[in-house]
Each structure stands twice: as C-alpha cells, then as structure tokens.
Amino acid sequence: MDRHLKTKLLQLGLFILTLITTTFAGAEWTIGKFLIAGISWDDFLFGFNFSIPFLLILTVHEFGHYFTARYHKINVTLPYYIPMWFGFIGMASLGTMGAFIRIKESILSRVKYFDVGVSGPIAGFVVAIILLIYGFRTLPETEYIYEIHPEYEVFGENFETRMHNLDTIVLKKDLNPDRLLFEALPDTIKIGREGALFFGDNILMNLGRKYLAPNDRYVPSSRELMHYPVLLAAYLAFFFTALNLLPIGQLDGGHVLFGLFGAKNHSIISRVLFTCFLFYAGLGWVTTSDLVNTSLEGIGNFIISIAVYLAIVYWSAYTVFEEKKNRLLYATVMLTVQFFVASIFKIEGYTGWLLFSVLIGRFIGVDHPQVVDNSPLDTKRKVIGWVALVIFILCFSPQPLVIEGL
C-alpha cells in the first residue's frame, strides 16, 4: 500500500475514533454518569450534541493552520487527531487530547511564523463564538436540568444556590435547615455531592449569561455547564484557545509575540510572562498554615511538599536557564516569594497550571526558533496580532476546572 495512502487512512481512522470517544465523553458529562454505570444508546446519540460542535471547532482551528501553511507553500500534513477517553474506568475526560499538524520543513520567515500561528486560534474562536450564541439562545427549559438533578426540584426556587450552599455545608459537616431535605433524598441522588466539580468562568461566558440568554429560561452556572453540550464545547474551545494563545515560547501566542516584537524582545517578554504564569500556578502550595502540625509526620510532609515543588519549578525552568545552579536558584526564590505572598495575603493560585508550566518550560521551550527573514509585520498583521492577544484575555480562565473540597 502506498505510504501516503497509509497516512491518510491513519488520519481518517484517528478522526473516527476521536469522534466516538468524544461522543462517549459528551454523553457522560451531560447525563452525569460513566459508561460503566450504564449508558444507553440514546445517551450515546445525545453525546453527538457535544462531539460534533467540539470537533468542528478543533477541526477549523487545525485547518486554519493547515491552509495558511499551504498558502505560504510550507510542507505540512493534514491533522492528526488524538483520542483519549477514560470513561470505561470511571474517570472524566474530554474524549481527546486535541489534534495537531506536522510542519515538515523549517519556517524561515517571521511573517510566515506569525500567519501560521495566529490563523488557527482565530478561526476556531469565530466558530466558538457562533456556538456560544447558539447555545445561550436555545437553552432548554428548567425541566431539563430537573431530569438530570431531581434534587433541584425538591429544593424549589433558587435551587442551584441552595444546593451549592449545602455542598459546602456537607463538606464542612455543619448543620443547616436544608440538610433535612438533603438527607431525605434517595442515596442515588446524594452520591457525588461531595467534591462537586465546576468550570471556572471567563469573560465571554459571563457576557453570554448576561446578554444572550432568554430571560424565561434557566441559565446554567459554571457548576451545571457540563450538562449543556453546545455551551460546554464552546467553553472548552475558549479554554484551549487561551492555552494556545499564551504569549510564551513556541505556542501560537508565542508566534504572535515573536511576530509583533521580534526575537530579542520575545525572549525577554516570554520569560517574564512564563515566570508570572508559574508564580500564579504555585501560589499556596505551601503556607504558614502547613507549619501548624508540628508532629514528626507533619514536618516530614512539609519537607516533602517543598522538595516536590522545587523539583517542579526546576524542571519548568529547564529552557529558561541553561545552568543547573541558576534553575535551582530560580526555584528557591520562586518558592520563598510565593510562600510569603500566599501566607500574608491569603491568596491561592491554581496548581493545575503547574503541569502545563512543566510542559512549556521543559519540552516546548520558552524561546522561539530563529528565522532568516526577520522583516517586521505590516500594519494589518500587527492589528491582527493585538486582536489575538485580546482574544486570549477574553478566553482565559484563571481556574478552569475546580473540584470543591480538594
């Protein structure tokens, strides 16, 4: 079989498999149970309400890169989709780790790097905005959420606020009048209230709730977003758009930064922004509250936490500094400043970003490849670049996924 045909069949097979896994994931998020708990054929079909819009956005994003690369006569492959689904073992997932294209030659122009980098996020963002509008304008009536959460109907008016308050109370083991209602619910409904999960909002989701949703319909908060497949697809598209547009290293946002400011300024700005990103991520990892337990076990755990965190920052600084001693110094200073800031001002970052920090700092890199043609961008491209950075701000959520009680 021809090698090119094999590649095409592989890409098609990965797409079909990703369509299946994202459909399973969409069904699980929407109905609130995993495959192992028994998803019906109708549940699976309903999952297409998530997988089709989500993969549409992902596909438009990748083909934005692809067609721009072809326009510049750059040797590039069609997208490879990455299926990833854990519902068969009872773990939440999105059904995919995304998709990527392979650029099979060096890009030698600053302008071409910019065009290829910025085209994907903007193309996907446009589709996500359309789906955001559609999702909020076509919200189902309140009875829809009652079918998924029967306990909400029991609590009546302001049910979501009362259930959220109760979730907090259940975690704290306090007493509350609503607890009597909760205790009277069937065990099948009460299961899963501890460790409630929600998606952290961004500017666009908040604007959508305020200006797009009909007044006579239930507008889901971040805690119920997963049950609304089109809105969930739009939110996740914004999340991944923000990740791609982080103006650091060789991410799409890094290409934008490189195009706007050039190699020397990119190196400085990228390192500053990466340090800020890493600083926020690690805020609250260790604070003075961790020193309350003065037992041998408590002190041991504190030391282990420090050692683990130093290792994370050290690995994150792999492409920031060439020398090992500078990475260790960087990690030590970072931990010290974070410890005092978090302890004094009682603020926490989002540890979920630490994994992404390691991915950038160790593997992707904070620097940008050099080019032969370093000609600056024209005015039109500069405007597009600044628009892309604004899109990043609109899409970014400081805490994209939160599990209460953890």
Look up tokens 């890199």; give the residue: 365
Asked whether residue 167 carries a pLDDT value surpassing 50, the answer given is yes
Q: Which pLDDT value is given to residue 190?
A: 47
pLDDT in tens, 252-296: 999 999 999 999 999 999 999 999 999 999 999 999 888 887 788
pLDDT at 191: 43
pLDDT of residue 151: 72
Side-chain-side CA neighbours of residue 229 (13 Å): 26
Q: What is the pLDDT of residue 173?
A: 47
Query: pLDDT tens across 219-231, in order?
Result: 888 888 999 999 9
The pLDDT tens digits of the residues spanning 43-52 come to 899 999 999 9
pLDDT, one tens digit per residue, over 83-103 is 998 877 667 788 999 999 999
Q: In sequence order, which residues have a C-beta less than 8 Å from that of residue 80 and are 6 or more positions away? A: 10, 11, 14, 99, 100, 101, 102
Grade residue 406 by pLDDT with cuts at 50, 70 and 90: very low
Collapsing DSSP to helix, strand or coil, 173 comes out as: coil
Residue-by-residue DSSP string for 201-242:
P-HHHHHHHHHTS-TTS----TTTGGGSHHHHHHHHHHHHHH
Asked whether residue 172 carries a pLDDT value surpassing 70, the answer given is no
State the average pLDDT over residues 102-131. Answer: 96
What's the mean pLDDT in 17-29?
94
Gap between the Cα atoms of 47 and 26, Å rounded: 4
